[in-house]
Amino acid sequence: MAEYVTLDDYLKKAPEEGAEGAQDGIVVFINAAMSADGKISTIARKQTRISGRKDFDRVDALRADSDAIMVGIGTILADDPSLTVKSKKRRENRKKEGKDENPWRIVVDGKARTP
């Protein structure tokens, strides 16, 4: 039976303890924001902010700790996301760890519509 762990609980685990799935070398998580009524976009699929500064910083920390960020073509066409680490300090820390400043960008696009 699968064990389900919230992202917050996963992030709180001590590095020496390891996190669920880390022993396999691959950890996948999904991040999404929704409005109080459970919506993730407008009817017109227009980008609108439904998160605050604290959440943006949390997402930036997740990006800084990730090897790659994967999004679908719908997100690319609707939002034109930068998919980068915003914090200069976090980018510098990635470089010190021998990584690129930003994670790889992966776009799932079955019809080659990526601009």
Asked if residue 14 has pLDDT above 50, the reply is: no
pLDDT at position 25, please? Answer: 64
Asked if residue 85 has pLDDT above 80, the reply is: yes
The CATH code that applies to domain 28-108 is 3.40.430.10
| Burial (CB count within 10 angstroms: exposed 0-12, middle 13-18, buried 19+), residue 84 | middle
What share of the chain in percent tops pLDDT 90?
A: 37
Q: What is the pTM of this model?
A: 0.70
Distance of alpha carbon 32 from alpha carbon 112, whole angstroms? 24
Asked if residue 22 has pLDDT above 80, the reply is: no
Phi and psi angles of residue 82, each rounded to the nearest 5 degrees, phi first: -80, -30
Asked if residue 10 has pLDDT above 80, the reply is: no
16 or 11: which leads in pLDDT: 11
Average pLDDT value for residue range 62-91: 91
pLDDT single digits (tens) 27-68: 788 888 888 888 877 788 776 778 889 989 999 999 999 999
The domain limits of the chain are 28-108
Asked if residue 81 has pLDDT above 70, the reply is: yes
Q: Where are the extended beta strands (E) located within 1-115?
A: 68-72, 104-108
DSSP category for residue 102 = S
